[in-house]
Amino acid sequence: MSTEALLRRQRWLEDYRPCLRIQERGWVVSVGDGIAWVAGLPTAAMDDLLEFADGSRGLVFDLAGSLLGTILLTWTGQLTAGTSARLYPRPLGIAVGDALLGRVLDPLGNPLDGATEPDCPGWMPMETASPPITQRDFVHRPLYTGNKILDTLIPIGCGQRQLLIGDEGLGRSALALDTVISQRNSSVVCVYVLIGQKRSAVVNTIRLLREYGAMEYTTVVVAEASALPGLQHLAPFAGCSLAEYWMRRGRHTLVVYDDLSTHAKTYRELSLLLRRPPGREAYPGDIFSVHARLLERATCLSAAEGGGSMTALPIVETKQGEIAAYIPTNLISITDGQVYLNRELFSAGFRPAIDIAMSVSRIGGRAQHPAIKRESGRMKLDYLQFLELEMFTRFGARLETGMARAIQRGRILREVLKQERLAPLPIEYQLAWMVAFNDGLLDSLDPSRVQGLLARLEKRLQRGVPQLDDPRREWETLAREVFVSMEEKTE
Give 413-472 as a DSSP string.
Answer: HHHHH---TT----HHHHHHHHHHHHTTTTTTS-GGGHHHHHHHHHHHHTT----TTS-H
pLDDT of residue 396: 61
Work out the burial of residue 3: count CB atoms within 10 Å of its CB; fewer than 13 is exposed, 13-18 middle, 19 or more buried. exposed
Q: How sure is the predictor about 282, in pLDDT bands with cuts at 50, 70 and 90?
A: very high
Q: How sure is the predictor about 394, in pLDDT bands with cuts at 50, 70 and 90?
A: low
Minimum mean pLDDT among 19-33, 195-209, 257-271: which range? Answer: 19-33
More confident residue, 398 or 343: 343
Q: What angle do CA 241, 315, 226 make, to 5 degrees?
A: 75
Q: How sure is the predictor about 485, in pLDDT bands with cuts at 50, 70 and 90?
A: low
Q: Which entry of 362, 411, 421, 480 is annotated as an active-site residue? A: 362
Q: How sure is the predictor about 444, in pLDDT bands with cuts at 50, 70 and 90?
A: confident
23: left (phi over 0), alpha (psi -120 to 50) or beta: beta
Q: How sure is the predictor about 51, in pLDDT bands with cuts at 50, 70 and 90?
A: very high
Task: Dump pLDDT digits (tens) for 357-370.
Answer: 999 999 999 999 99
Share of the chain above pLDDT 70, in %: 96
CA 21 to chain centre: 45
17 pLDDT more than 90: no
Residue 343 is classified by DSSP as H
State how far the Cα of 222 lies from the Cα of 377, in Å rounded to an integer: 40
pLDDT of residue 188: 96
- Told to judge if 90 belongs to the known catalytic residues of this protein, a careful annotator would answer no
42 pLDDT more than 70: yes
426 pLDDT more than 50: yes
Q: Is the pTM value of this prediction over 0.85? A: yes
For residues 118, 123, 126, 132, the Cα torsion angle rounded to the nearest 10 degrees is -140
What residue ranges define each of the domains in the chain, with the CATH number in brackets? 24-91 (2.40.30.20), 94-368 (3.40.50.300), 374-490 (1.20.150.20)
Q: How sure is the predictor about 1, in pLDDT bands with cuts at 50, 70 and 90?
A: low
Calculate mean pLDDT across residues 321-327: 91
Range list of H helices, 113-190: 148-152, 172-182
Q: How far is CA 144 from CA 358, 371, 421, in A?
A: 21, 14, 15
Q: How sure is the predictor about 397, in pLDDT bands with cuts at 50, 70 and 90?
A: low
The SS3 of residue 110 is coil
Per the CB < 8 A criterion, the answer to whether 312 and 156 are in contact is no
Calculate mean pLDDT across residues 75-101: 92
Calculate mean pLDDT across residues 409-420: 92
The SS3 of residue 43 is coil
More confident residue, 392 or 172: 172
Task: Dump pLDDT digits (tens) for 253-276.
Answer: 999 999 899 999 999 999 999 999
pLDDT of residue 221: 97
Hey, how many other C-beta atoms are within 10 angstroms of the C-beta on 192?
Answer: 26
488 pLDDT more than 50: no
State how far the Cα of 268 lies from the Cα of 181, in Å rounded to an integer: 33
State how far the Cα of 203 lies from the Cα of 454, in Å rounded to an integer: 33
